[in-house]
Amino acid sequence: MSIRETDIPALARGCAVLGTGGGGDVRAGSLAAVRAIRAYGPVPLVRLAELPPDALVVPLSGIGAPTVSHEMIHGEDEPKRIAEEVERLFGRPPAAVMSSEIGGSNGVAPVAWAAQLGLPLLDADGMGRAFPEVQMVSMYVAGLPADLVIMSDVAGNVVTIRPVDGLWSERLARAVCVAAGSSALMADYVLTAGRARGAVVEGTVTRALEIGRATEDATDPLTSLAAELGAVRLITGKLTDVERRTTGGFVRGTATIEGTGDDRGRTLVLELQNENLVAVEDNQVRAMVPDLITVVDTETAAAIQTEGLRYGQRVTVLAWPCDPLWRTRKGLDTAGPRAFGYDLDYVPVEELAHG
pLDDT of residue 180: 82
| Helix ranges restricted to H, the chain | 8-18, 26-40, 66-69, 77-90, 105-117, 138-141, 166-179, 193-196, 204-213, 221-229, 329-335, 349-354
Residues sharing a CB contact under 8 Å with residue 354, sequence separation 6 or more, in sequence order: none
Residue 123 CA to residue 202 CA, distance in Å, equals: 6
For 316-336, b/e burial (b = at least 16 CB within 10 A) is bbbbbbbbebbeeeebbebbb
Could you write out the DSSP letters of every residue in 268-316? EEEEEESEEEEEEETTEEEEETTSEEEEEETTT--B--GGG--TT-EEE
Helices 105-117 & 26-40 angle (0-180, nearest 10): 20
The mean pLDDT value for 56-60 works out to: 97
Cα Rg, the chain, nearest whole Å:
19
The mean pLDDT value for 285-305 works out to: 97
pLDDT higher at 64 or 83: 83
Q: Burial, 230: exposed, middle or buried (Cβ in 10 Å; 0-12, 13-18, 19+)?
A: exposed
Q: Which pLDDT band holds residue 154 (cuts at 50, 70, 90)?
A: confident
306 has a pLDDT exceeding 70: yes
pLDDT in tens, 182-213: 788 999 999 999 999 999 999 999 999 999 99
Residue 86 CA to residue 53 CA, distance in Å, equals: 17
**DSSP category for residue 155:** T
The CATH code of the domain at 217-354 is 2.40.390.10
73 has a pLDDT exceeding 60: no
Residue ranges matching CATH 2.40.390.10 in the chain? 217-354
pLDDT of residue 247: 64
- Whole-model pTM: value is 0.92
Residue 210 CA to residue 166 CA, distance in Å, equals: 32
pLDDT in tens, 224-242: 999 999 999 999 999 999 9
CB 23 within 8 A of CB 221: no
Which residue type is seen at 249? Answer: G
Query: Positive or negative, the Cα torsion across 305, 311, 315, 317?
Result: positive
Residue ranges matching CATH 3.40.1610.10 in the chain? 2-204
Specify the 3-state DSSP secondary structure of 200.
Answer: coil
Residues sharing a CB contact under 8 Å with residue 243, sequence separation 6 or more, in sequence order: 253, 254, 255
pLDDT higher at 23 or 341: 341
pLDDT of residue 23: 81
Q: Which CATH class, in words, describes the domain spanning 2-204?
A: alpha beta
pLDDT in tens, 16-32: 999 999 888 899 899 99
Residue 75 CA to residue 237 CA, distance in Å, equals: 38
pLDDT of residue 304: 95
pLDDT of residue 134: 81
248 has a pLDDT exceeding 70: no
249 has a pLDDT exceeding 60: no
Residue 345 CA to residue 242 CA, distance in Å, equals: 26
